[in-house]
Structure 1
Amino acid sequence: MAVVASAPGKVLMTGGYLILERPNAGIVLSTNARFYAIVKPLYEEITPDSWAWKWTDVKLTSPQMARETMYKLSLKHLLIQCLSSSDSRNPFVEYALQYAIAAAHATFDKTKKEALHKLLLQGLDITILGCNEFYSYRNQIEARGLPLTPESLASLPPFTSITFNAEESNGQNSKPEVAKTGLGSSAAMTTAVVAALLRYLGVVNLPSESNGPLDGNEVSEGLDVVHIIAQTAHCIAQGKIGSGFDVSSAVYGSQRYIRFSPEVLSSAQDAGLGTSIEEVIGKVLKANWDHERTKFSLPPMMTLLLGEPGTGGSSTPSMIGAVKKWQKSDPQNSLETWKKLSEANSALEAHLNTLSRLAETNNDAYKRVINSCTMLTSEKWTVGAVEQNQIDIVKALLGARDAMLAIRCNMRKMGEAAGIPIEPESQTRLLDTTMNMEGVLLAGVPGAGGFDAVFAITLGDSSKNVMKVWSSLNVLALLVGEDPRGVYLESNDPRAAEITGAVSSVHIE
């Protein structure tokens, strides 16, 4: 019986850089671009002598990269050995696999462990698939002579094979990189694999696509286990302990997030020093995970838009390194900038929460104001607002804009001081143009910034116009919107569906 789980990609709207340090919060939106993991037995039945086997087989398939990797998994030590060429290895999936099985060992009693052993003897067949939105297909669209529009993206078949960036021009044979759009594919992939495995092995229950939000403690406890194992696997595979917002949103969906203390993973970092994986994961599961998350989603009648400017990706780790160096060398100014950034982040969050509240209490007034602002540039938004409740709504909209402008200004300052392009000049021009369009509430660079992507939050149905303008500026609008849900169990293999969810939810005219 196959288990299929999927986890969403993310957009970090506020909290870039600050989110690395407690107690700074960030707002992260999960998206309708999802990563899928399909887990099923490799062999239908096991031979009578298999009880004596010490190893089992694992097959990992990534159809989009035309890769198939075979592993042997030690049933005693839970260590894996790759039998294929090292090029095809995927450390995120390798750690997800070892840690998910270790979590089963750490939580099961003797009877359940015997059933687990039998299940593992059948081998594991794991397939991973990412929605097209995680990857850049700009070159393929241009090669086909198609315009840079969402329609062209929608014409690509779901789970299109991924092209690798060209080799380095200096002739060195470096490992080719996949061109990505910055939606957090490794976190979504790790989370989907962990969730599918933990469900397949009988460790957790997951929410399903059909039953919507969390139902009952059992599911939320299950998600907490998925979260801990996915964070651990993701950090160890990356070789560093990041803030974890990308994994948290892949598990729980859109949220306001404050990171966990890195110490919770100290036992995982010591793995291999004479401690078994099972013991390490047992400790990690019992550790004090002190991250904080609060439910958050965009107010009604607002749309998240993402654009790919096509100026090449940015390396987040090296940008973070540069910011840390600047903080050390100029503590006073850096602290001042961080304080202002933090205040602007909090202000934006407060205005958006106010708008959600006003939409609930004065729905008619809210709809009227949003519909009228859709057709106007921001300086004209106050014109039609005459009643107090309309004035309050416009005030919150303009407050959110001002907060975003303050965030952008301080991000630019930080970038200039640290000598890195957090909001490069080309992005500044693009964002200013976007924010001056009718019906646009905000625009910015998500996460650590750089050249990867830009985002906009638009009102009503003004997003169509923004997509057109972006296309004329050589910016490809992606088929990505906000979907506040986190990881869930799918009812079937996504390849069986004629059309992926992301495409069907974008209304193309």
Structure 2
Amino acid sequence: MMGPVERAFSAPGKALIAGGYLVLYPEYDSYVTALSSRMHALLRGQETEKHIRKITIESSQFAEGVWSYDLDPDIPFGNIKEAQGRRNPFLEATLMCVLAFVDADSRPGFDITIRIFSDPGYHTRDDTTARVSSNGKRQFLYHKKKINEVAKTGLGSSAGLVSVVTAALLSYFTGDRDVETLRNTVHNCTQIAHCHAQKKIGSGFDVAAAVYGSIVYRRFQPCLIDEILKHEFHSMQGNPALALDYKGALQLLVGSDWHFKIEKCALPPGIRLVMGDVQVGSETPKLVSLVLRWKQANPVEGEKLFEILNKANGSLISALSLLHELQRENPAAYSSMLKDYQVAIENGAEKAEVEPLRRISAAIATMREHLRALTAATGADIEPLSQTALLDRCSRLPGVLGGIVPGAGGFDAICLLVLNDAIPTMLQTTENDQFFSNVKWLPLHEESDGLLETSPEDYAGL
């Protein structure tokens, strides 16, 4: 019998810098930045007698944050129900997908506990208490409310949650010691489970960022997942024949090549991402449905607008790539360019040395122009007037290259690209300006790594 296993994993949040709405289509590139706020999963598990198949998932940062599952010994991935009747579609879909993939019904019994933690950037900080791990390496905020009653900031908490739980379970059942060999399997399982939980096939960029980190992303074909989501097993989960067929189809799908683009990237040195929570909130599915409905009703106009928006997105991606090349070729000249930029802007000088930075500002301005056109055409609040005023004001702050409403847009947040050295001044300036009173700058930055294995010791005492 296998001895006790203890492993921990973390996955980052995300910000979609370029690719809003186009990310839904497999022919367009998007630029996704992974963030320093991460979701964490600490697994402790051991083998038991075959008739015992138990998984407990705890999220002690929230009230009533415990979900216990006593699974069917014969079909452990079927009829997954929490002991106290507490529904969590994301956990249920994750267990179903992973347990089917690893052929859990043919394995020894197991008793697994997974503790979930989320970094402070994912949720509101209101009415919280901070706790620090015994070794001081982790600090989390504890809420008095249930998880579904706490406001989120839109960093992709569900994608991160499913990613780390999937990674933890796969590591236990496969015994694989190298996270790299698990990465593609984690991604494919997570995408399927996440779509099942949401009852729709999303673009998948949030899951891809959680697993692979900062990436230039082009989505998989939605039809890949469609068949497994419609499998008859979902309506008759106690049927052994359907369970066997579902398991085989799932294993084949997870192990196949999805032919999507995940090209690693990172923001250029000296340029930071700064996110502000605007504390209003938006309904992303509603925004997306408005845009998709409009494009379907106006195919010619829609295609034209999408193509010019794609061109602007490509300009930003190219401009960021160019800065990496310049930094590699001549680090000293690159540093001088960063220092000279603000002086050139203030003096109105057309200084050739800072032109690569101007390209970023120009690309962001063009992206915003086309997103405002999409707002006007569809009626979806992609860049609402209040956000336009806020971003225009931010763009005039020293060191700010430009800013957008990330992802699907709306009132949730804004995202700025700022010269690193200018950030302290920017924060002080906005703190003293009533215009920015409804903006909370989030304590996070780009962290380009995706899924990582971490030390279980870092969570002791929490």
TM-score normalised according to structure 1 size: 0.80
1:257 matched to 2:192? The reply is no
Per the alignment, in what secondary structure is the counterpart of residue 462 of structure 1?
A: helix
Could you tell me which of 197, 201, 204 is aligned with 1:244?
A: 204
Partner Cα separation in structure 1 for residue 69 and residue 373 of structure 2: 48
Aligned CA distance change for structure 1 residues 272 and 123 (closer, same or farther; 3 Å): farther
Give the match's secondary structure for 2:409. Answer: coil
| SS in structure 2 at match of 1:226 | helix
Alignment of 1:65-464 (within 5 A): 65-66=62-63, 67-77=65-75, 78-86=77-85, 88-105=86-103, 117-118=107-108, 121-137=109-125, 139-140=126-127, 158-162=139-143, 177-202=149-174, 204-207=176-179, 219=180, 221-273=181-233, 274-276=242-244, 277-310=246-279, 312-373=280-341, 375-376=342-343, 378=345, 380=347, 382=349, 385=351, 391=352, 393-464=353-424
Question: Which 4+ stretches in 1 moved above 4 angstroms?
Answer: none
One-letter code aligned to 2:97 = Y
Deviation at 1:159, TM superposition (A): 2.3
- Residue deviations 1:131-167, cap 9 Å, x none? 1101122x448xx9xxxxxxxxxxxx932234669xx
- Tell me the residue number matched to 1:214: none
CA distance in 1, matches of 2:318, 2:461: 40
Q: Which amino acid aligns with 1:240?
A: K
The aligned counterpart of 2:448 is 484
Query: Structure 2 counterpart of 1:158, which letter?
Result: Q
What amino acid maps onto 1:159 in structure 2? Answer: F
5+ residue gaps, structure 1: 107-112, 145-156, 166-174, 208-218, 386-390, 499-509
CA distance in 1, matches of 2:24, 2:163: 20
Counterpart for residue 60 of structure 2: 63
Q: Structure 1, residues 101-158: CA drift from partner, whole Å, max 9, x if none?
A: 222229xxxxxx86xx23xx23111111111101122x448xx9xxxxxxxxxxxx93
Displacement of 1:21: 0.6
Query: Deviations 1:326-346 (Å, cap 9, x if unpaired)?
Result: 112222322221111101000
1:300 counterpart SS class: coil
Q: Deviations over 1:276-306 (max 9, x none)?
A: 3422321212434011111111011111111
Give identity over the alignment, percent: 31
| 1:269–1:105 Cα change, 3 Å | same
Relative to its length, the structure with more strand (as a share) is 2
| Residue pair 1:377, 1:437 contacting (<8 A) in 2 also | no
Q: Single out whichever of 411-420 and 69-78 deviates more from structure 2.
A: 69-78
Task: Give the match for residue 236 of structure 2.
Answer: none
Residue 494 (structure 1) shift:
4.1
Partner Cα separation in structure 1 for residue 232 and residue 175 of structure 2: 24
The 1:422–1:497 alpha-carbon spacing in structure 2 relative to 1, beyond 3 Å, is farther
CA distance in 1, matches of 2:18, 2:366: 12
Aligned residue number for residue 134 of structure 2:
none
Q: Is contact 1:245–1:259 with CA below 8 Å preserved after alignment?
A: yes
Question: Do the aligned partners of 1:470 and 1:476 also contact (CA within 8 Å) in 2?
Answer: no
Equivalent residues of 1:378, 1:439 under 8 A apart? no
Structure 2 unmatched runs, 5+: 130-137, 234-241
Residue 178 of structure 1: how far off its partner (Å): 3.0
Q: What's the TM-score, normalizing by structure 2?
A: 0.88
Corresponding pairs, count? 435
The amino acid that maps onto 1:299 is P
Name the SS for the 2:80 alignment partner: strand
C-alpha distance in 1 between matches for 2:124 and 2:290: 26
